[in-house]
Amino acid sequence: MTTSKNDKMLVTFWGTRGSISTPGRITEKYGGNTPCVSVRFNDTQIIFDAGTGIRNLGIELLEEIKSDENPTFLHLFLSHTHWDHIQGLPFFLPSYHKNTKLIIYGSHRKERFLASILKEQMDFDYFPVSMSSFAADISIKEMDDKVIQIGPLKIDWQEQVYHPGGSVRYKISINGNKIVYATDVELNRIFDNIKDNEMNESIARDYMNFISDADLLIADGQYTQEEYVEHFGWGHSSVPVLLETAFKSNVKQLAVFHHDPQHSDKFLDDLWMENRSKYNKNDKKMDVFWAREGMTLAI
C-alpha cells in the first residue's frame, strides 16, 4: 500500500461478499471475504466494516505499524453489527499491537450499546481470546454529530431504514471528490413503493441527495430482480433498482457490492456483461462494475 503524498483517495476492497464468507475455486475472482473497504488519503486511514476481509488489511497495515515510531491512527466505521460486518475484528492484527490507536464508530440507535455488542462477540463461549487482550488503544464511539472531521476528510452519515436492525451509510468528501459507502439497505421497498407514499418519497429523496454526484458509490446489489422476489424483507437490493437509482443521481462510478454467497464468478461476470453498456450514453455516463477483492481505485 503506497504512502506517497498525493491528492487522491485510494479505495481498496478487502471483502465484497455478503452474509457469509465463501472461499473456493468459483469465487476466486470477486472474492469470498465479507465486507471491508479501506480509504486512504496520505496518512489518514478510514475503514468501512470489519468483515473477514479486514484480516488481510490488518496483515498489510501491521508491517507499517511496526516500522513507525509514532502511533498509527485507524478509523473504523461500522454500517451495522450483523455477523458478516464485524466477524473479522478478532483477527485484525493491529488490534493486538500497542502502537495502534483504533477508533470504532457506529450508530447510537442500537438497542444495546455498541461496545457491548463487539465485546460479546469475543465472549469465551464464542472465541478463545477476549477483547481485553487487545494491546491497542481502542475507543468505541456511538456517533451523534452529523458531520465528522478526520484530518482533511469530512465524513457525513445517515441512518438507513429497510434493513433488519438498521444500518448506516457514509460519505467521504475532500477537494470536491465524494465516495459513498451505502450497503445493506433494501432499495426496492423504497423505490418500488413511492406513489402516494409520503414517507417513502422522503426516504427516496434523502437517499438520492446523499449519493448525488458521487465519484464512487459502493452499494448493495445482492440480488437479481428474479431473486429479490424470493427475498423481500431481507434488507438487500436488486441490481436493476440500484443501477437505475444511481444513474438518476448522477453517480460517476458504481461498485455493485455485497455479493450473494450463491453467486459464482461466472454469474457475476454475466451480470456485468449484461449491464455494463446500459448506462454509457453519449450525454450521460456511469461506469458500472462489480466490486472485486484486491481492487484499488484512485478517487
Domain regions of the chain by residue span: 10-298
> Residue 26 carries which side chain, given as an amino acid letter?
I
User: What mean pLDDT is reported for the chain?
Assistant: 93
Q: Is the model's pTM score more than 0.85?
A: yes
Average pLDDT over residues 223-234: 97
User: Which residue has cell 456511469?
Assistant: 286
pLDDT, residue 5, reads: 56
Residue 3, pLDDT > 50, answer: no
Residue 247, pLDDT > 90, answer: yes
pLDDT in tens, 11-62: 999 999 999 999 999 999 999 999 999 999 999 999 999 999 999 999 999 9
Question: What is d(CA 169, CA 35) in angstroms, rounded to the nearest whole number?
Answer: 14
Phi, psi of 6 (to 5 degrees): -155, 180
User: pLDDT confidence of 112, banded at 50, 70, 90?
Assistant: low
According to CATH, the topology of domain 10-298 is: Metallo-beta-lactamase; Chain A (3.60.15)
Residue 114, pLDDT > 80, answer: no
Q: How far is CA 273 from CA 4, 17, 218, 266, 287, in A?
A: 35, 19, 19, 10, 12
Percent of the chain with pLDDT over 70: 97
pLDDT, residue 146, reads: 83
Average pLDDT over residues 70-88: 96
CB-neighbour burial class of residue 127 (10 A; exposed 0-12, middle 13-18, buried 19+): middle
CA 197 to chain CA centroid, Å, is 29
Residue 111, pLDDT > 70, answer: no
